[in-house]
Structure 1
Amino acid sequence: MMKLEIIDNILDFEKLIPAWDKIYNALSLQPPFSVSDWNLTWWKHYGKDNQLFILTIYQDNELCGIAPLYIQKKNGIKTIKFLSSGESDYLDFLFLPEREKECLAFIFDYLFKQKNWDILDLTDIPEQSVLAQNYTELLSPLSTAGMTLLPDIICPYLQWEQSYDEFLKSKSSNFRYDLKRKLKRAKQLGEVSFRVIENMDDCISFAKIAEIYQKRWEKKATDSIIRSDIGQQFLEEMCKIWETKKYLKIPVMTINDKPVAFCLGFIEHNKFYYYIPSFDTEFVNISPGNLLIEFIVENFQNLGITELDFMKGEESYKLKWSSTFRTNYRLLVANNLIKSKLIYLSQLNYIKFKNIAKTSETLRWIRFDLLGKIKYLLKTISNSTLTHKN
């Protein structure tokens, strides 16, 4: 017999951790953002003013499924979301093998008997997820107000099926020449070194990572975990946890011992997750980011890594290295209430407009470059005024 229990407070969340980890460790394809440490730490930093809503599914008293959710209450709208939404690149439910569909059906059946939510908005669902593959079959008998699964963003990746030399030969001559030229130019500036560090105080500190990243994006209107104080606090705590679990891997390029490019990444399931990369804008002419990727591709096979996951985002530099990608999906579902249907239609149209805007170079320039420069200018003026007053 199946039963569902709700975790709605942090003490019960902490008690759930051992059982959560047991399920996670049994799932070889589960995204690393589903690990308990990530979600518990995220909730401690971001959970204020929201309602914890973790659904646990039991079969004959055995835990067989976890839906890591919370309810966001904003502008009178109650939205069910994944824990760590916004700071994670892949999100999903956790179900024991062979129990996926029955657990998912049980969760949906429960949700549609409740009136404490308006919208179910689940983002960054991997294409291989049972949720993405079975939502129509399981939701159609329940939903009357609206449901949509939208392709949201691509996630390029590179699998190593050949040696580095063979891989490089498969790229264009211009690609290979550009890498050699940029490396030669870098060596003219000083002693170039590449290394992989596993401790934040070795070669590069978290403060330095934040400084390089902030400088790189200060004139761009982009949202990022590392551009806010709360995001930095969360990520710094997670890095300490990753250190102890041997997940943390930070490839760094230095010139004369000065960090010029890095990638705050981690290894899980024989994949290297290229999570937060950046470079010192002073060295933009030598493309330090691409040189660092070359180092990763050439050397990480020796660590037993079989895939470089560039994660979500279709930045041009990623597509130069790989033309293969997976797709993340977004599931938007309305509760069977008139209010929910109206909210659903409004949000669906907004999401579709954003997707159209992504394909427009002009709108992208306005959003990321123009607005970013305006914000940077206003911030500079504000800081100058405060300094003058003091």
Structure 2
Amino acid sequence: MNFKVYGAFDVDLKEAWQNFYLEKGGAYNSSYEWNFTWFKHFGEGKKLFIITGWEENQIRLIAPFYKRGNRLYAVGSNPDFYDSFCVLYQDIACLLDLSNFIIENNFEIDLRLISPGSEFFKCLLRRFEQEKIYKVNIYSYTVKPLIYKTEKFKNSLTKKYKRLKRKENLAKRDFNDELKYDFNSVKNEKHIKEFMNFHQKKWDIFKSHKMRDFIKDLYLNQDFVMLSRLYLKNSDRSVAYSFKYKSLNNVLYSNMFSYNDDFAEMSPGFLVPYYDISSEMGLSVDYMDYGIGSYEYKYYFANKEEIILSIKADLSWKRHKTLFNILKRVKKQISFLACVMK
């Protein structure tokens, strides 16, 4: 495999990437559009380093990194706006070639949020073990709840909804209204701003203008980004929002959730996943990914989970060299003091 590294989102890369993504499918954060948008907003001070692999002038691999010094980071990390790093590839041999390319060029790795079950992680770890020149550290881990629509799950859904029906009825009791859910609401700048405002009251992520601009840019300009809205039908008051991605791998990713505190008693965090599962798109996907984090509302419907790790791979010889230089300086100082004391 021949490798070519791109330091910019060139026109020829865009075309090849988009075609390869359409051919192979993949998570939202392996698309050209998502990576381009993230780097547009957060690329300052980062050196783009997109590794591509080619065979007979056909692209066979795309690994979107950026570089600081000799260390590779995933595009989309720092700040983190994805749930698991993805590489687009033709077959396992391509991932082994990529792992060899990283090792042969003495690159160090800092991968935030990667699945240990992914083929890239397994290939990379195997080669690190074989070469024995890297020290790999897991420096954080979390879990990601998933919803697979098995027969057992479908049978349990009715029982769970009966409990949620009482929450739905609060709209009539307390507000003389009824709930309505737009799974993929019409693109509306007012709604995306309201979603971020709700979110900011509980978490800090949208205090930064860059974060707000990134999410707004993605939402308003990319068809695979959706904003679901739960609201009161008559008054049109927003109850909750869910920021989602629909990817070519036939998975629905629920990336962020926020709600209006005035309706907290309705438990919108439990209602929204039910409406998602029951929607036309929810019924058509292979499974639903509710993103990292172990919040109770995510696990009310989840029937599987995936471990997500963050790892660093440092070259061992660099530490050995540093230690050797320290010992060498100490030895010189001891020799100097010995001479002075004579």
The TM-score by the shorter chain falls in which range?
A: 0.7 to 0.9
Q: Confirm or deny: 8 A CA contact 2:84 2:113 kept in the other structure.
A: yes
Distance 1:341 1:285 in 2: 60
Matches within 5 A, 1:1-390: 2-10=1-9, 12=10, 14-28=11-25, 30-72=26-68, 78-85=70-77, 86-96=80-90, 98=91, 100=92, 102-114=93-105, 117=107, 119-148=108-137, 152-162=141-151, 166-169=155-158, 171=160, 176-177=162-163, 179-188=164-173, 189-192=175-178, 193-201=180-188, 205-217=191-203, 224=205, 226-242=206-222, 245=223, 247-255=224-232, 256-268=235-247, 269-300=249-280, 304-339=284-319
Q: Confirm or deny: 8 A CA contact 2:28 2:245 kept in the other structure.
A: no
Distance 1:169 1:186 in 2: 21
Q: Confirm or deny: 8 A CA contact 1:112 1:336 kept in the other structure.
A: no
Q: Confirm or deny: 8 A CA contact 2:135 2:314 kept in the other structure.
A: yes
Decide whether aligned partners of structure 1 residues 284 and 8 sit closer, same or farther in structure 2, where only a CA change above 3 A counts: same
Decide whether aligned partners of structure 1 residues 42 and 137 sit closer, same or farther in structure 2, where only a CA change above 3 A counts: same
Deviation at 1:90, TM superposition (A): 2.0
Deviation at 1:160, TM superposition (A): 2.0
Q: Confirm or deny: 8 A CA contact 1:310 1:318 kept in the other structure.
A: yes
Work out which of the two has the higher radius of gyration on C-alpha atoms and give 1 or 2: 2
Write out the 4+ residue segments of structure 1 that deviate beyond 6 Å after TM superposition. 340-343
Distance 1:302 1:239 in 2: 19
Structure 2 counterpart of 1:330, which letter? S
Question: Which secondary structure does the structure 2 equivalent of 1:261 belong to?
Answer: strand
Distance 1:47 1:148 in 2: 26
Q: Equivalent residue for 1:368?
A: none
Deviation at 1:26, TM superposition (A): 2.4
Gaps of 5+ in 1: 344-390
Decide whether aligned partners of structure 1 residues 198 and 60 sit closer, same or farther in structure 2, where only a CA change above 3 A counts: same
Structure 1 counterpart of 2:192, which letter? F
Distance 1:62 1:134 in 2: 22
Deviation at 1:277, TM superposition (A): 0.9
Deviation at 1:148, TM superposition (A): 4.0
Decide whether aligned partners of structure 1 residues 238 and 285 sit closer, same or farther in structure 2, where only a CA change above 3 A counts: same
Structure 2 counterpart of 1:16, which letter? L
Question: Which secondary structure does the structure 2 equivalent of 1:168 belong to?
Answer: helix
Taking structure 2 as the reference length, the TM-score comes to: 0.82
Q: Confirm or deny: 8 A CA contact 2:153 2:303 kept in the other structure.
A: no
Q: Confirm or deny: 8 A CA contact 2:61 2:94 kept in the other structure.
A: yes
Distance 1:137 1:310 in 2: 29
Structure 2 counterpart of 1:65, which letter? L
Deviation at 1:59, TM superposition (A): 2.0
Q: Confirm or deny: 8 A CA contact 1:127 1:133 kept in the other structure.
A: yes
Structure 2 counterpart of 1:250, which letter? L
Q: Confirm or deny: 8 A CA contact 1:132 1:329 kept in the other structure.
A: no
Structure 1 counterpart of 2:115, which letter? P
Residues 286-343 of structure 1: per-residue CA shift (max 9 Å, x gap): 2122122222222245762342211111112111222311222333211244249989
Deviation at 1:35, TM superposition (A): 0.6
Question: Which secondary structure does the structure 2 equivalent of 1:230 belong to?
Answer: helix
Distance 1:70 1:302 in 2: 34
Distance 1:263 1:302 in 2: 13
Deviation at 1:33, TM superposition (A): 0.9
Deviation at 1:145, TM superposition (A): 3.8
Taking structure 1 as the reference length, the TM-score comes to: 0.73
Question: Which secondary structure does the structure 2 equivalent of 1:68 belong to?
Answer: strand
Q: Confirm or deny: 8 A CA contact 2:141 2:308 kept in the other structure.
A: yes
Q: Equivalent residue for 2:330?
A: none
Q: Confirm or deny: 8 A CA contact 1:52 1:70 kept in the other structure.
A: yes
Gaps of 5+ in 2: 324-342
Deviation at 1:48, TM superposition (A): 0.6
Residues 62-108 of structure 1: per-residue CA shift (max 9 Å, x gap): 221112100136xxxx5311111211112122111x3x2x3233333
Q: How many residues align?
A: 316
Deviation at 1:165, TM superposition (A): 6.8
Distance 1:140 1:163 in 2: 40
Distance 2:101 2:289 in 1: 35
Question: Which secondary structure does the structure 1 equivalent of 2:228 belong to?
Answer: strand
Q: Confirm or deny: 8 A CA contact 1:261 1:277 kept in the other structure.
A: yes
Decide whether aligned partners of structure 1 residues 68 and 143 sit closer, same or farther in structure 2, where only a CA change above 3 A counts: farther
Question: Which secondary structure does the structure 2 equivalent of 1:197 belong to?
Answer: coil
Distance 2:322 2:290 in 1: 37
Q: Equivalent residue for 1:387?
A: none
